[in-house]
Chain A
Amino acid sequence: MTDAPDGTLFATARDPANRADPYPLYARLRAHPVARQDDGTWVASGHAAIRALLHDPRVSSEDLPPAEHPPTGNPVKDWIVNPLKDWITDRHRPFIFRDPPDHGTLRRQVMGQFTIARVRGMKRRTESLVAECLDRCAGRRTFDLVDDLAYPLPVTVICDLLGVPREDEPRFHAWATQLATALEPESRHDEELRARNTETFDAIAAYMRDLIREKRRAPADDLLSGLATAKDGQAGRMSDPDLVATAILLLIAGHETTVNLITNGMLTLLRHPAEFARLRADPERAPRVIEELLRYEPPVHFRTRLTRAPIPVAGTVIPEGAPLVLLFAAGNRDPARFPHPDRFDPDREDNQHFGFGGALHYCVGAPLARIEAEAALTALAARLSAPRLAEDPPPYRPGASLRGPKRLLLHIDGIG
């Protein structure tokens, strides 16, 4: 260690002004693979440290502040209804915010619904959805990848998978966008934002309760029906509040991440035209390209945790009760782990990235995300004639963790 860590680096890296290219700041953070920031947060940015902390049982995912409805002035609501709702919310967090053993019990039930037959079915469905999106743009010379493909595709796929009626999608769009802000550290201190998230959560939870009742009455071949009608098997059966929380989690995760993978993917490929041409000539390269994209431009840059006990790591000790950031996108560019980390190289071997996180909380939807990205990027490579970036860098959405372009305008000569 040379200098003391700069305790403002992570805040600077999250500044919207650095959204297009936070990587030089991540490189500076990595000089101290685990470092305390001025606000008391600890940031892990080295690959080895992130890996160790991801697996460490002292690192807790139960880092959400207690649920709390703002006062309404209505005593029945303020003293009875809303405290009861908060009590239920706190005890039935979605499994991304749970530790063992509850985490495993809930997660296994969801994994049990990702059957080979269902995933294969989603692959066929995804390919035809991509074709439909591109067909709709026929004749256009300008194309917004986000609005025209990268956003609608995952939304439709996750709604199909869960069994959410298509006509309700627009409501989910608004709800999902709102609730995804809860994943950004800033939201924890923003009272107004938290109040709006609470309101949104109530609305989406009420909708889900109705939908689950409907699935029980008339089960279909979808994930929500499967979970709602599961027998008391080895994996157990979810309580209704857990089922509601799980459904909301999957819906948001399905909305807000794959869009980034596809959009960042196309942006990266157009910045590396030789790789784009190789993908067009050889669609079999897609899995390699996608793994490298998950390393090079991951859809989720970091996740937060809380320490349950002091943890010695990377030559320092994180104290008990400390908020912790696992900066996956920095670990993915760690030169101690990846030779030439800032080079986009789909031929890279030994690509153990954190693009889907890792350990117990490794992304449940990873197979689905890979299918969607592969379908989208191979179709774009095959069908777009002479795509060019209309603006580089593109404008970004506000999130520093769920990071991706707000729009990605492409000029094209046509769609084949």
Chain B
Amino acid sequence: MRDGTIVIAGASLAGLRGAEALRANGFTGRLVVVGDEPHPPYDRPPLSKHVLTGEIPPGATTLPGVGALRAEWRLGTPALGLDRDGRALHLADGGRVAFDRLLIATGARARPWPMPGEARLAGVHTLRSRDDATALAAGLAARPGRVLILGAGFIGCEAASSIRALGLPVTVVDPAPAPLAGALGSVIGGFVAGRMEAAGVDVRLGARVTHLEGDRAVRRARLEGGGTIEADLVVVALGAVRNTGWLAGAGLDADEGGLSCDGACRALDAAGRPVPGIFAAGDVARFPHPLYGNRPVALEHWGNAVAQAAHAARAMLDGPDSVEPYGELPAFWSSQFGLNIKSLGLTEGADAVAIVQGSPRTGRFLAVYGRAGRTVAAVSVNAGRWLPAYEGPIRDGALFPPITGGADQPRPEPMPPGLPAHEAA
């Protein structure tokens, strides 16, 4: 089917790549892209890095290729609802867009500070969208006396790195025992903590902020168990929530953790059956990963948005049976505090980690994660060129630790990775 109307909900990276893949694979019909933000698709990774440090303006993050798609762009008009049986979207401007096939790529949004009154205080920011980054950069330009970052995940740590680079005092608070502990565990996270402290960040681990205080603007944060941190700018970096609220009532299996879909990217209904003509890709899509026992996962990775959107496009045009179950090896990168961190695979549920190349002492190393004796993930720190060797072992679930006897390889000493307890699927 290469004609008719395809609607893409989400003018995101996944939405754009999906649209490009549809056209590249010969879709000649009407293409409508609906976006809640007024901006054409843009690239998010620079928002926590070069945009905050002022090296590139927020507007320079627009992704190329938008013009060549012969698509109708309905930007700044969020989708409010899905009429599944009537095969149409309801938009915020009162419009209704009918489709033959739909690609849902509405992504995720920053998880807000849970107390709405406090979240509205001036100087309290989140960091997810281009407008978020613009507002935060403006707040930083006013040279706040101290910046407090709530959450030491990737966004919190990258923001801390960028803001320290501006010479501003930064405090990071996280209840976990190490930064990045959720994704990398406290062993590797502990190494990053050392770099953060060396860069002058006040790192408060095992601590929790209960309230943000101030009259009109935020002035301080109150810590659990007493104590306060004075800060006139706060970045709430508590992770993301999938944008699925607009699907309420459509009978799809969707919640804050994502919209469930199958290996052909078809959305599933509440009974777990694929819904004809409705597909999902990118951050919003929760899919069974064949490399991890078909455990449902939703990935917030740049590469996943690109690959899954292309996969969905093929399934939309040639039918769900024409594609292998989607199983791209998860991969992401982060840069912070002079560290280039790259990851392959999923660390979730890993019970061991081993440094298999280089050494934290030299600032360059590669760590491999194992689960029940099998290799599940690898993370490189300032050693990205070593990482591709581990693709095969992760894909094959090779015995852990894989690849021994090479150059510059210490005798691997597996240890508990310090990951949060995993709820068995």
Q: Which A residues lie at the B interface, using CB under 8 A?
A: 51-52, 54-60, 62, 99-101, 104, 308-309, 313, 320, 359-360, 362
Contact = CB atoms under 8 A, between A and B. Distances in A.
Given A100-B357, A100-B358, A55 B388 contact: yes
14 contacts: A56-B403, A56-B406, A57-B386, A57-B389, A57-B403, A57-B408, A58-B406, A62-B407, A99-B407, A100-B408, A309-B405, A359-B388, A360-B385, A360-B386
The 10 closest A-B pairs by CB, nearest first: A57-B406, A309-B405, A99-B407, A100-B408, A55-B389, A58-B406, A55-B388, A56-B389, A101-B408, A359-B385
A119 B25 CA distance: 40
Interface in B329-372: 357-358, 362, 364
Interface in B365-411: 385-389, 391-392, 403-409
Contacts of B391: 52
Given A55-B385, A55-B388, A56-B389, A309 B404 contact: yes
B403 A58 contact: yes
Given A59-B406, A101-B408, A359-B388, 4 more contacts: A56-B403, A57-B406, A359-B385, A360-B385
A52 B388 contact: yes
A100 B359 CA distance: 11
B409 A57 contact: yes
A327 B29 CA distance: 45
A104 to B, nearest CB: 7
A91 to B, nearest CB: 16
Contacts of B364: 104
B407 A100 contact: yes
Interface in B291-344: none
Contacts of A100: 357-358, 407-408
Contacts of A59: 406
Nearest to A52: B392
A62 B408 CA distance: 13
Best-surrounded residue of A54, A99, A104 (most CB of chain B within 10 A): A104
A308 B405 contact: yes
A310 B382 CA distance: 27
A55 B394 CA distance: 14
A359 B404 CA distance: 18
Best-surrounded residue of A51, A100, A362 (most CB of chain B within 10 A): A100
A104 B407 CA distance: 12
A55 B388 CA distance: 6
A59 B409 CA distance: 12
B408 A99 contact: yes
B407 A308 contact: yes
Contacts of A55: 385-389
A60 B409 CA distance: 12
A309 B362 contact: no
A96 to B, nearest CB: 14
Contacts of B362: 101
Contacts of A99: 407-408
A55 B403 CA distance: 11
Given A52-B391, A104-B364, A57 B407 contact: yes
A99 B357 CA distance: 12
Contacts of B408: 57, 99-101
A416 B376 CA distance: 61
A135 to B, nearest CB: 39
A57 B357 contact: yes
A263 B405 CA distance: 41
B388 A101 contact: no
Given A52-B389, A359-B388, A101 B358 contact: yes
Best-surrounded residue of B389, B403, B408, B409 (most CB of chain A within 10 A): B389
A308 B406 contact: yes
A101 B409 CA distance: 10
B385 A60 contact: no
A113 to B, nearest CB: 20
A315 B404 CA distance: 19
Contacts of B407: 57-58, 60, 62, 99-100, 308
A308 B405 CA distance: 7
A308 B403 CA distance: 11
A51 B358 contact: no
Contacts of B409: 57
Nearest to A48: B392
A359 B391 CA distance: 14
A362 to B, nearest CB: 8
Contacts of A58: 403, 405-407
A100 B392 CA distance: 21
Contacts of A360: 385-386
Contacts of A51: 388
Contacts of A308: 405-407
Contacts of A56: 389, 403, 406
A313 B388 CA distance: 14
Contacts of B385: 55, 359-360, 362
A57 B388 CA distance: 11
Contacts of A362: 385
A99 B389 CA distance: 15
A359 B407 CA distance: 14
B52 to A, nearest CB: 23
B304 to A, nearest CB: 18
A112 B404 CA distance: 31
Contacts of A62: 407
A309 B388 contact: no
Nearest to B409: A57
A354 to B, nearest CB: 13
A52 B362 CA distance: 25
Nearest to B396: A312
B409 to A, nearest CB: 6
A99 B403 CA distance: 16
B365 to A, nearest CB: 11
Nearest to A57: B406
Contacts of A313: 392
Contacts of B392: 52, 313
A129 B3 CA distance: 55
Nearest to A99: B407
A100 B407 CA distance: 6
A60 B407 CA distance: 7
Nearest to A104: B364
Contacts of A359: 385-386, 388
Best-surrounded residue of A54, A58, A360 (most CB of chain B within 10 A): A58
A49 to B, nearest CB: 10
B115 to A, nearest CB: 45
Nearest to B391: A52
